[in-house]
Amino acid sequence: MKIKTLGNTGIEVTDLCFGVLPLGPVQRDIPKADALKLIRQGAEAGITFFDTAEMYRTHTYIEEALRGWQKDVVIATKSGASTYEDMAISLEKARRELNRDVIDIFLIHAARANHTVFEDRAGAIECLLDAKAQGLIKAVGISTHAVDVCRMVADKPEFDIVFPIINKLGMGIIEGDLQGMLDAIELNRQAGKGMYAMKALAGGHLINDLEGAINYVREIPGFASLALGMVNEKELRVNLKIFRDEPLEAADLPQEEANKRMIVLGNCIGCGKCATTCPNMAIEIINKKAVIDHNKCILCGYCRPVCPQFALRLA
């Protein structure tokens, strides 16, 4: 693995970022003891960058796994809060659950949000900027699936970090296409933004081109790191090999994981909350039941926490 600096922030990270989303209840809901062990193994292997979010409910996983760890790590978290007051609550929750006085990177969680996000969440942004001025946050940023948002943030000096979706298929990108996102990423590189990438495997659609999909994103100028979700020792080992530029063996290639899908259980009441939340427009309500378009679904798992019936499952 390489150590890189996130734009002009001065924050140094490994080019492999451990995405903690899949370990928690929003996605795979791995037994907590196993999840803590894997996070610790990642740190012991040299990973210094961990990505989480309030909605992932994995702050405590990172805190417990790294309790007593003496080496520096960088933790990025996010909140979907819109108002100053709600963001202040989210910030204090993150500081408490992560057991950190200072949060390295705090992002506006805006996967589905369009170009109006900067107006719609002006209060939340102001809160993060105030917290940065007070020394409670080192860097402020935004995570996005939208080309327009990614393009606009390049012209906003108050934002230090951009965390965009990018993969060779262009899956999950909204308000534009793959080339549009690449152009927006280049604008942010020129502006000195710190950038790390998400969804290089397009939610599993590129799992059979694992190394090629990862290296496609690694080779895009401007990215300091790539966040990859990992749920078992094999995934950790294989990702470490790729980022150390070590050759893969036949046993390293994914098998059963390629067939994972989000499914709708029979107790769905068709309330539509999942469809409204899905950043990829992969869910429709048809005949009073949620129907998932698996050609659009990238297994982000954002639909699961909002379902009042617990009718969505990764299987």
- The fraction of the chain above a pLDDT of 70, given in percent, is 97
Task: Give me the mean pLDDT over the 290-309 stretch.
Answer: 81
| Claim to verify: residue 271 and residue 193 sit in the same structural domain | no
Q: What b-and-e string marks burial along 76-113, b requiring 16 or more CB atoms within 10 Å of the CB?
A: bbbbbbbebebbbebbeebbebbebeebbbbbbbbbbb
pLDDT of residue 255: 56
Q: Is 287 helix (H, G, I), strand (E, B) or coil?
A: coil
The CATH number given to whatever domain includes residue 283 is 3.30.70.20
DSSP letter string, 164-184: EB--TT-TT-BSS-HHHHHHH
| Claim to verify: residue 248 and residue 284 sit in the same structural domain | no
Query: In which domain, by residue range, is 283 found?
Result: 261-314
Which contiguous run of DSSP H or E holds residue 196? strand 194-197
| Claim to verify: residue 106 and residue 208 sit in the same structural domain | yes
Domain end (from 220, 237, 256): 256
Tens-place pLDDT, residues 133-186: 999 999 999 999 999 999 999 999 999 999 999 999 999 999 999 999 999 999
pLDDT of residue 311: 75
Residue 12 has which token pair? 């140094």
Confidence (pTM): 0.88
Distances (CA, A) of 109 to 40, 75, 127, 163, 308: 26, 15, 14, 10, 22
The CATH number given to whatever domain includes residue 167 is 3.20.20.100
Per the model's pLDDT, the better-predicted residue between 258 and 43 turns out to be 43
